[in-house]
A and B are shown apart, each in its own frame.
Chain A
Amino acid sequence: MTIFQGTAARDFRRGGRDGIPALVATFPFALLYGALAVSTGMSAFEAVLMSAAIFGGASQMVGIELFGQSVSPWLVVLSIFAVNFRHVLYSAAVGPRIAGWSLPRQAVGFFFLVDPLYAESELKAEKREPITFAWYMGMALTFYTAWVGGSAVGAAFGRLIPDPHAIGIDFLLPIYFLGLVMGFRKRTMWAPVVAASAVASVVAYNTIGSPWHVSVGALAGILLAAAMPVPRREKGADE
């Protein structure tokens, strides 16, 4: 692991601070995940290993749900892949922004490319600030530690939560995701994209069902944006 010094150390700390809202929003889910994983028959070690190796909250929730229903293993893996498929798009978008990093750093960086990391990286690019490896890792490690640590605590003590519904644990993630959506409201085509994705995801959710509503809904908004007339001279605008 790189030891950051000077400006990099400052960037690293700043990244850590930028990761705090995501940490606060996600920590309850890490607890919930740990508790649920153990209740489906996983050992605490396996529950924590899953968090450390996959590092993808929604996909892990889907994974343990299917695991509890004793679905065949390859189908569980496929579902995890389906839920995380959106990361392909994050990867394509963030890749050019971190092209200046060394290959090992890129390889490490992509491992941590989850929703909050992606969203914060895009917000940083929006402000025309460089995405440094130190800043990125400060945020990544803050978030990763909270996710893996929270899973461990949840696995150990999860059954002690008296009433998860009363403290709103199941609805914190939508509130948090809504905040991220609002953060992008200055982008071109934002309102039509959000409207198209909202309608398509609700329809898909009620017809083909979860987790496909994510891919279908996202595709609707993306295709709408891509189908609109594009200003001619914008080709290199994002460099």
Chain B
Amino acid sequence: MSTTLWIIVGGALMTYLTRVGGHLVLSRFERIHPRVQAGLNAVPAAVLTTLVAPAAMAGGPAELASLAVATIVSLRSGLLAMFLSGAAVLVVLRQFMG
């Protein structure tokens, strides 16, 4: 087996382990502690924020403007409208700012 295939198979196994592992480990406990529950409740916002914040810090005016517009739109409408407006602002501003 070539090195590339080895990486793909190894990466796939490890990834599946993360997707099934959390449930397998946590289902061993009969009752979930309220603090664990509170922590789990915070997981999506916490994780997804880490995929936005460093990119925002590294961004220029075009990137920051697109995030600002997208945030405002998201208060009023759904994900797709929010995404398309942010992307539109980004593409237009980048034509001028590089």
Please determine whether A87 and B11 come into contact, CB atoms closer than 8 angstroms.
no
A78 to B14, CA, bound (A): 8
Partner of A217, one of B17, B23, B34, B50: B50
Is the Cβ of A173 less than 8 Å from the Cβ of B74? no
Q: Which of B9, B27, B42, B90 contacts A168 (CB 8 A)?
A: B90
Q: Which of A1-9, A106-114, A131-139, A141-149 contacts B (4 or more CB under 8 A)?
A: A106-114
**For the side of the interface on A, what is the size category?**
35 or more
Q: Mark B76-98, 1 if CB is under 8 A from A, else 0.
A: 00111011101100110011000
Q: Is the CB of A181 within 8 A of B86?
A: no
Contact B94 A165 (CB under 8 A): yes
| A118 within 8 Å of B (CB atoms) | yes
Question: What residues on A are CB-neighbors of B11 within 8 Å?
Answer: 50, 53-54, 59, 63, 76-77, 80-81
Pairwise interchain contact B10-A166, C-beta atoms closer than 8 A: no
Judging by beta carbons under 8 Å apart, are A182 and B82 in contact?
Answer: yes
Q: Which residues of A contact B15 (CB under 8 A)?
A: 54-56, 59, 80-81, 84, 87
Q: Is the CB of A53 within 8 A of B4?
A: no
CB–CB B7/A25 < 8 A: no
Given contacts A24-B83, A179-B74, contact A46 B49 (CB under 8 A): no
Bound Cα distance from A86 to B79, whole angstroms: 22
Residue contact A91 to B51, C-beta cutoff 8 Å: no
B18 pairs with A88, CB closer than 8 A: yes
A179–B5 CB distance below 8 A = no
Question: Quick check: B41 and A187 within 8 Å, CB to CB?
Answer: yes
Residue among A20, A194, A199 having the largest count of chain B Cβ atoms under 10 Å: A194
A182-B74, A184-B44, A223-B39 as given contacts; A197 in contact with B49, CB under 8 Å = yes
Q: Is A91 touching B38 in the complex (CB atoms < 8 A)?
A: no
- The answer to the question of A183 belonging to the interface, with a C-beta cut-off of 8 Å to chain B, is yes
Q: How far is A228 from B7 in the complex, measured between Cα atoms in Å?
A: 41
Chain B residues closer than 8 Å to A106, beta-carbon distance = 23
**When the two chains form their complex, are residues A118 and B44 in contact, meaning their CB atoms are under 8 A apart?**
yes
CA gap between A95 and B7 in the complex, in Å? 28
Leading 4 A-B pairs by shortest Cβ distance: A95-B23, A221-B46, A91-B22, A217-B50
| Chain A: minimal CB distance from B26 (Å) | 4
